[in-house]
């Protein structure tokens, strides 16, 4: 795949109906740009864009695509608005807490541009519905934060021949690219195999600078508009990396792997990405207690050692009283094993149970056969024991 082939992309969408007087006035700043003009705006009017996730990246993308005049915006999200979302998911507000994210996002979109048709898909995206959902759209914009969904979106787009605008954020860094099977690289050319489970923390575990979403989400919107109208050079064949701390952008060339097997079907992407390792699942089976059970053991005076395997910054937010901090990496490396007592029951916990299950498998392998972990982690402790504690 030569660079010239990747660069030369025709407009993705045919022009829609003539613009009304109101539309001419609304989009006048687009219309006077020679590269966009009336034909480009009519293409935007005729475009159908599916946005996966009304979260940190979906928030700016939905607002700017609506403002730009994209005719139909689909929103896939089966989550509800949580207070921890408001630091970066600017399409939602305090009054939206507990509401469907899709419904919450649709209202600001309508306020920005009532001419846009919004289609809500309040369901979990999986291998059983992806092809049907994607079929009605011209391109897919994905702002989710897990590998299983990214591989699913990539493969569904490859099977349908649709372009895929992808963005990712973590702490202070963002990445954006365009994937399009048959025209250039796909997500599988960037990540041929998923990383080992637990090796790449999610934003919920590692955090993200809220304002980073605006920078990355706006680039994703720009790429969608360029593809629809056929202007400029897209990020197809390039990975854009943004470092907010250094205020630096750089691009890395991507090329399709000529030896890669073509995508022929959708699979079980949770299993493909090994969301839960077999060792962690085996360790947790029969060795998981509830937060309420831990509280009872502590109330009964059991001499248990409660170990927090999260990071210090997480512990500073909230912790189970009386626990000690031993981060996951120190347990998995074996460094901290000598600090653990052989004569006391050990109870591990993390934020929601995933990391503590990994550590539990390591402890069982090191001879701590009676160690257990708290299912649901500190979030379960908040829900079952002390709702006054802050969630994160």
As given in the structure block, the two tokens for residue 326 are 């031993």
273 carries an active-site annotation: no
How far lies 235's CA from each of 122, 243, 280, 361, in Å? 30, 17, 38, 42
Contact 192/151 with Cβ under 8 angstroms? Answer: no
Distance CA 50, CA 44 (A): 13
Question: DSSP string covering 74-101, please?
Answer: EEE---B--GGGGGT-TT--GGGTTSBH
Backbone torsion region of residue 331, taken as left when φ is above 0, otherwise alpha when ψ lies between -120 and 50, otherwise beta? alpha
Which of the residues 203, 213, 273, 359 is marked catalytic? 203
HSE-up (13 A, CA, CB side) for residue 376? 14
For 33, other C-beta atoms within 10 Å of its C-beta total 11
Contact 91/54 with Cβ under 8 angstroms? Answer: yes
Distance CA 316, CA 216 (A): 28
Give the largest Cα separation in the chain, rounded. 80
Strands 324-325, 288-289: pairing is unpaired
Which of the residues 157, 213, 273, 350 is marked catalytic? 350
Distance CA 24, CA 199 (A): 50
Catalogue the active-site residues.
203, 350
């Amino acid at each position: 795949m030569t660079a010239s082939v990747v660069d030369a992309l025709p407009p993705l969408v045919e022009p829609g109906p003539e613009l009304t007087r109101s539309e001419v006035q609304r989009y006048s700043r687009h219309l006077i740009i020679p590269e966009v003009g009336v034909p480009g705006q009519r293409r935007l009017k005729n475009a159908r864009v599916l946005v996966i996730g009304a979260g940190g990246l979906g928030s700016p993308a939905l607002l700017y695509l609506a403002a730009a005049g994209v005719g139909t915006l689909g929103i896939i999200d089966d989550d509800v608005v949580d207070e921890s979302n408001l630091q970066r998911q600017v399409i939602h507000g305090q009054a939206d807490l507990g509401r469907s994210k899709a419904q919450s996002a649709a209202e600001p979109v309508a306020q920005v541009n009532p001419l846009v048709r919004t289609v809500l898909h309040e369901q979990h995206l999986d291998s059983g519905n992806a092809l049907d959902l994607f079929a009605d759209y011209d391109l897919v914009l994905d702002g989710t934060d897990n590998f299983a969904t990214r591989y699913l979106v990539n493969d569904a787009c490859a099977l349908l021949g649709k372009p895929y605008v992808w963005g990712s954020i973590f702490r202070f860094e963002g990445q954006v690219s365009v994937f399009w099977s048959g025209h250039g690289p796909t997500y599988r050319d960037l990540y041929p195999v998923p990383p080992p489970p637990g090796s790449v923390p999610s934003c919920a575990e590692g955090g993200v600078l809220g304002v980073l979403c605006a920078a990355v989400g706006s680039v994703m919107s720009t790429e969608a508009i360029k593809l629809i109208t056929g202007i400029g050079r897209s990020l197809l064949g390039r990975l854009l990396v943004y470092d907010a701390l250094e205020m630096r952008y750089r691009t890395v060339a991507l090329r399709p792997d000529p030896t890669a097997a073509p995508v022929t079907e959708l699979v079980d992407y949770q299993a493909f990405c090994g969301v839960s390792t077999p060792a962690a699942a085996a360790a947790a089976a029969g060795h998981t207690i509830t937060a309420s059970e831990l509280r009872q053991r502590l109330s009964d005076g059991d001499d248990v050692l409660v170990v927090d395997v999260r990071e210090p910054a997480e512990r500073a937010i909230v912790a189970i009283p009386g626990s000690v901090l031993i981060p996951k990496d120190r347990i998995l490396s074996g460094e901290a094993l000598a600090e653990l007592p052989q004569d006391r029951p050990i109870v591990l916990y993390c934020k929601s149970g995933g990391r503590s299950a990994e550590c539990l498998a390591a402890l069982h392998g090191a001879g701590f056969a009676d160690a257990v972990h708290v299912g649901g982690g500190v979030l379960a402790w908040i829900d079952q024991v002390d709702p006054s504690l802050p969630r994160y």
